[in-house]
Amino acid sequence: MSYIKTPLIGLKADYFRHPLDLEATKALKQIPGIDMIVRNVLGPVAEQVFYVENIASSVLVGETQLPHLHKLLLEASQVLDLETPQLYVRQHPAPNAYTFAMRGKQPFIVLHTSLIDMLTLEEIQAVIAHELGHLKCDHSVYLTPVNLLILAAANVPSVGAVLAQAIQTQLLEWVRCAEFTCDRAALLATQNPKVVMSVLMKLAGGSPTLAGQLNLDAFIAQARAYDDISKTELGEMVKVARTAQLSHPVPVLRAREIDRWASSKEYQKLLQNSGIEYNIKTAPKGGWRNW
């Protein structure tokens, strides 16, 4: 069942930015020289390499090419009050999506076919909106070059492996915090927390054959149990050790954050100020599953 979503006219990134994202971004900008290296040294190289490689190996979505995906992109962009970027689909066995934008040039989003294959249309829109969140918050200025910076520092003597070791932990912390913000963007675009949490559930244990058999209510209960365990000293130590070298928070933690924010006054106020009338408690069990 689809329904019309009211655009969040005038939506600003700081209206929904996760507090951890705000803190991590400030800390990242304080690393000496990183802004100059990312924007002026690696930026032009990343821009050419990624754009050419992507356009040569992916399918550009449009009105006459996978129009159902194009429609999802247009709607999510409108709801988030954001200029519509390009969207590409790429054949790849690893479920993933990513965003690229540098130096004011045409930004684009890439969806892997294996991710599309295990999601409903609404869930695909949640993924698209998550990537739009990176653009809305200007994450992409750092997001793609960050990976190149780590790679270059580890392999090019002139940059130095010491730089990589010094900044890698802080960079990964920033990326993980940015993901929490973009999950919020996905919620604002879909206006249904169960859709966003269903995506995270499928990322944790889904496949084209298993996706339809997964129980979202059980996964939400799992997310809440994770929250309880993390409150203990040992649980917190295990959580920190588990996530220290990851580029994304674990899916169950992201689901817990969305579950929590969807019930917050902050989220409800954003919807109400935009004229959206949506009551989470009255949403159909399992979410709006049929498009």
DSSP 42: I
Q: In this structure, is the dihedral angle defined by the CA atoms of residues 59, 60, 61 and 63, taken in order, positive or negative?
A: negative
CA 242: distance to chain centroid? 20
Residue with tokens 């979503």: 5
Beta strand 59-60 with 86-90 is: antiparallel
* Block residue for tokens 């698209």: 128
Q: Which of 123, 131, 179, 257 is catalytic?
A: 131
CA 145: distance to chain centroid? 17
Note whether 184 and 78 are within 8 A (CB): no
Question: b/e for 128-154, b at 16 or more Cβ within 10 A?
Answer: bbbbbbbbbbebbbbbbbbbbbbebbe
Q: Is residue 183 within 8 Å of 196, Cβ to Cβ?
A: yes
Burial category of 226 from C-beta neighbours within 10 Å (exposed 0-12, middle 13-18, buried 19 and up): middle
Between CA 185 and CA 76 the distance in angstroms is 9
Q: Which residue in 120, 105, 97 sits closest to 183, CA to CA?
A: 97
Distance CA 144, CA 101 (A): 8
Determine whether 131 is an active site residue: yes
Q: Check residue 98 and report its DSSP letter.
A: E
Closest CA to 128 of 82, 69, 81, 178: 69
| Spatial distance between the Cα atoms of 195 and 7, rounded to a whole number of angstroms | 18
Residues classed as catalytic: 131
